Amino acid sequence: MRKGYRVVGTEPSPGTIALDRIRHLLGKIELVADDLLDQVVLKNTLETFRPDEIYNFASPSFLSDSILYPVQTGEISALAVTRLLEAIRDVNPRIRFFQASSSEMFGKVTEVPQSETTPFHPRNPYGAAKVYGHLITTYYREYHDLYACSGILYNHESPRRNPEFVTRKITSGAARIKLGLSKELRLGNLDARRDWGYAGDYVEAMWLMLQQPKPDDYIVATGETHSVRDLCELAFRHVGLDYRDHVVQEAERLRPSETGQLVGNPSKARNNLGWQAKVTFEELVSMMVEADLELSRRGMEEGGDP
């Protein structure tokens, strides 16, 4: 919107998505019903709104959901990408298309860090479906001459992250314990490591990808890893607490790693797009804790328990 865009978002049907995390944008964006499983509906949506750019983020949010519902995951994260690209071909081949690919495509990694040429070896239905979406995007770029590109996104976080993800569990837990709403936080493996970056930085990379003379695929990552323990230490320190006094590691939450060390090499994005992550890990954690403190305080004032 700051760039003068008319922003149109889609949902499967009216009222089917939670609006809490985008409530501040209501009135500034348009939400319309769409159906990624229906080619005709997709084509009609493109004909109605005539977009210049399409950013496809449609996908299950949790890896566990993809294991429970592998067919649905394939429909949304794989085949729907083909439907979108076909709709673009039919309506306006000049539309620029961004596909949100995932570091989960690398799965059982063959090299660390991963680059755009690292072989894929997914270890779950989500990663496998994302591989299909990634490769079909490449196919439409090379064989149908569409401006279609993929960003291979590593973990990207913000205050609007779903509370079920470990980052929000920790930042929300630290805030609630500081305010006396909780006493402890139960977690699994504190030594698991991730390449965590700020979602706002990653969105800038996505936009930059669609502004280039030629489409291409890029790793979008920080190139650094931090442990869950590091995240706990920073989050609790931000509120003047020691995580060791409040975090309980539960043996039943521990599980063998299904993927190797996922850390991206963002040098291609840096060299070709002039992009690099700006928000540090420490700044990201502080930002999220502050947002969760505010959310918890607001809930206390309203007489609730967020």
* Catalytic (active-site) positions: 102, 104, 126
- Cβ-based neighbours of 28, under 8 Å, separated by 6 or more: 1, 7
Q: Which two structure tokens, joined as six digits, stand for 126?
A: 């989500």
What span, in angstroms and rounded, lies between the C-alpha atoms of 21 and 175? 18
Instruction: Judge whether 290 and 243 are in contact, CB under 8 Å.
Output: no
Q: Which two structure tokens, joined as six digits, stand for 46?
A: 């493109």
Instruction: Judge whether 220 and 264 are in contact, CB under 8 Å.
Output: yes
Instruction: Judge whether 47 and 25 are in contact, CB under 8 Å.
Output: no
- Cβ-based neighbours of 128, under 8 Å, separated by 6 or more: 74, 122
Give the DSSP letter of residue 119: P
